[in-house]
Structure 1
Amino acid sequence: MSRRDLLRTTGSALLVTASLSGCDLLATDPKGSAGDSRGSARTKDKEAPDLAAQVKAGKLPSLAERLPVLPGGRRISFDVEVASPALVPYWTDAMQLVRTYWAKVGVEMRVKAEDRALFYERKEANKPHATVWTGAGGREFDVMLDPRWFFPFSVESNFAIPWATWFTSNGESGLRPPATTRRQMELYRELRQTPDEGGRAELMRQILTMAREEFYVIGTILEEEGYGIMSDRMHNVPKSMPESHLYNTPGPTNPEQYYIEG
């Protein structure tokens, strides 16, 4: 069984080339509102109780029984690598919780905390089974400018690095990806050359639809809105602003026009 066949059988890209993100990345459309991609696990909400009832009634085997057995009778086993100290302090502890959830369905997952320099070295060499990182959160400027979680866009995608290298090198190096992934790449190149905002949004929706089916990334936690503390003497400061390294917060809000009074 090939790695991709195994991915298709289990329905989880986590086992081979995917990374876990810090946001429910597939729950948003290019304009930042909830879209039909929320069903990234391909099971409608109303169907889930039915499946659970069937398992309980013995009409459907449990997930542990349905998981493929590897040669030699071994069950699926994989590592999840976490940069340490983590970008978000609770990552390692959170993954220990996730480890116990996988164990309940017969999958052995090991949490591997490592120095960030080693994490990057291994990631760029395509060594990890799975990794943990933050996600874009679905903001339009993030999704279109840095679609790293929706197809192998760069080494920062954290998965399918040889495919990302093929994309960034225009096919000169790396590994040629399958047809669906290549189509995503073609659409993104077209998006970059499309002047019309509506046209760009439509192309991005197509990319996101394919990403949902390919299931490269599993979103785990959608972060709460953050906050900042501002003196009552500060003026001309927006009441809210996006928080993103791509937006270069707070740069586009023109801090040079903030002022202090009194």
Structure 2
Amino acid sequence: MDFRLTEDQRALRKGVRELLARLFDREALRAAVDAPSLDRELWRELGAAGFFALRLPEEEGGVGLGLPEAVLLFEEAGRVLLPGPLVATHVAAGSVPGAAEGAVVVTDASEGLVPWLDEADVVLGEVEGAVRLRSVDPLTPLHRVPGREHRADLVAVLLTAAEQVGSAGRTTETAVSYAREREQFGQVIGGFQAVKHLCAGMLVRSELARVAVRGAAVTGDPVEIAGAKLLADEAATGNARDCLQVYGGMGFTWEADVHLHLKRAWVRARLRLPAARAEEVVAANL
């Protein structure tokens, strides 16, 4: 089986990257951090571009593509830290009127931890007794529904893993770029063996997770999806930490974006199929 991207898939990824560069660049990211709220105009533009309707059949007004293509979209969303309940709205596009077009924002309360509850037009699941949490990620407001068991939709798990992969890839690129520019002791820090090892390790993590996520998108196997989520969470959090190390003290300042990737990775790792449950799924099938 050939797992390489097709020409159409590469064109889709390129188009989405260009779209997000126009709709949500670094200036928009920092503005969202300073004043966190869901940008409804951005949501509608994503809907118009087919972001939420990607997997709907063409006869239902969708794009007619599959899960492997959706994974590519969500990798790109993870690269730029696109905020909002993207996964829940995408998954609900076929059942909630207006979700496919970006006219309706959907969040999911079936797992106990609920992102963007106050901004959502439709909430899937019961939210009685929901308690607001202080989220570590300034771009992901959270509520918790007490006593709710974690029940994760497999497609939602995989798309969340794809976002983690996109973030892991972005922090790898960021670390390498900084290592080529920052100088200490008369040479760029990318020439130091320790920094080379950090960057190489980041590349290995992100590529291993990317292969696992894309492979699981093709097979749809629940165990492979659980394994992909584990690897993607490790790649996103581990790479963000190592990127901070490459940056040194600068990486820990509010002006740098590295800490935003780490905080989002922490939240995503808890939102769907946390590590302990994913490990149980994988272990039970060994």
TM-score bracket, normalised by the shorter chain, equals under 0.3
Q: Which is richer in helix? A: 2
Higher Rg:
1
Q: Which is richer in strand? A: 1
TM-score, normalised to structure 1, is 0.27
Which structure is richer in relative contact order (CA contacts within 8 A, separation 6 or more)?
1
